[in-house]
A and B are shown apart, each in its own frame.
Chain A
């Protein structure tokens, strides 16, 4: 097995799943900033999918990849259809075809009927005990990236100063071994440039002290960023001190650097419509399938902290998660994006 690359420091993210509204403002912030060019139509470097659900690309959690006991696991490249094709709409017909009263806006015929979020907001379980929550995905900027190890051209590298994983498009030949190997299936193929592309953690913003667009524009204050070893950063406290944020699918062996605060549940109702005290709507087994057994410890910690504040005590952990002051979320990456130097 190849040695994971050495870095001096690692940027990490924490996504608080309890606060996500599923509004996709992050998704659009990324789309308009990075993936609005030809060949990138179907790309969503950031996506928020509904879980339990198929996600994007559909069924990615069953595709394998990553490492098991240090051995690279075989997977496959998802198709454009599985990622969700970018639909062409019948704008001409509705707006200019003098048919506006008879026609309605819809994907043109022949388009794949399933977009990237075809099961969005579809709940699991039976009413009134149905449930769903949102899973926010970007490139995990792994400590041991499967994409980097799989590339036969050494076109993928991890930046020494911040651990951001990037694809060198000059070296990339579009062989797509990275797309196969990534267990999170966060790499896309650009059909126009014939290279693989993915989330770059907005490194040009990071280099100028500005949080990535999906973090900065999140209206729900879901996303925290900072250096994992920066004792002052919220990320450090949540991951290392209070240990209430966990990596997604840790069993895939890539040591991802996006951590999730798992969702607390509302209670279940019994057949008479009465609340079952102490019950949880989201099955623990499902959460364990995402975050491993450690999720139980985290949920108990969070519940104890909530109980503490209900008793009138202060909780620095919950105050941090609530993020009364947005600047507290970004580990110093708080400069105004309006001051960014732009490429000419």
Chain B
């Protein structure tokens, strides 16, 4: 769980390109107008490593961030964050955060929160906190880089949580929020689409 552990640095990893979410798909007209001409989602890339111990799945995310925003001391401050997104049922689109009867499940880590949050969504602006998310996470910031480990046991009970087990294949997506740029909600950088996920035996 230590994001700075040398094992993570030497683990097989992949660097994924991130792009900004389209301003026109922000779920309120205000958010669209406010971000239309304002740069956001410029994180560029996130390095992903993953591992499991037979009982839980671990993702290690790391990305460049010039500023560490791990507390909200003023109304204008927002915290850095990251998300891991999975389709739960059907064939939901990543960019719409799922659709009716095609939910997605996200693991949401934020630098100012004590614990990560599991959320499910069936479309933009529809996220609700899931029960029984059973997530744990640890983040560390060093030399202009966030390193975050986020994990979940394979066996969990709750509604619309992604089913995960060794030997299974699926899909996964990632997102990063830069707190210093007031990024929150749909104002973020994400992978352009789902990526294949293979959990080895």
Give A contacts to B, CB under 8 Å. 1-2, 71-74, 76-81, 83, 146, 149-154, 171, 173-177, 179-181, 188-189, 191, 194
Contact = CB atoms under 8 A, between A and B. Distances in A.
A173 B75 contact: no
B34 to A, nearest CB: 5
A2 B30 CA distance: 10
Contacts, number: 70
Contact of B33 (A71, A76, A153): A71
B31 interface: yes
A146 B30 contact: yes
Given A149-B29, A150-B31, A79 B75 contact: yes
Interface of B is mostly: loop
Given A152-B26, A152-B185, A177-B28, A77 B33 contact: no
A180 B75 CA distance: 11
A180 B30 contact: yes
Q: Which of A78, A152, A175 has the most CB of B within 10 A?
A: A152
A83 B34 contact: no
B96 interface: no
The interface centre, meaning the residue of B26, B33, B112 with most chain A CB atoms within 10 A of its CB, is B33
Interface in B41-77: 72-76
B67 to A, nearest CB: 17
A153 B34 contact: no
A151 B185 CA distance: 10
A77 B76 contact: yes
A77 B127 contact: no
Contact of B30 (A80, A81, A150): A150
Contact of B125 (A74, A80, A83, A153): A153
Contacts of B72: 174, 189, 191, 194
A151 B127 CA distance: 13
Contacts of B28: 2, 72, 149-152, 177
A151 B128 CA distance: 14
A152 B31 contact: yes
Contact of B73 (A2, A74, A175, A191): A191
A188 B75 CA distance: 8
12 contacts: A1-B29, A77-B75, A77-B76, A152-B185, A171-B128, A177-B28, A179-B75, A181-B30, A188-B75, A189-B72, A191-B72, A194-B72
Nearest to A78: B75
A150 B184 CA distance: 13
A154 B29 CA distance: 13
A288 B72 CA distance: 39
Given A72-B33, A74-B33, A74-B34, A152 B27 contact: yes
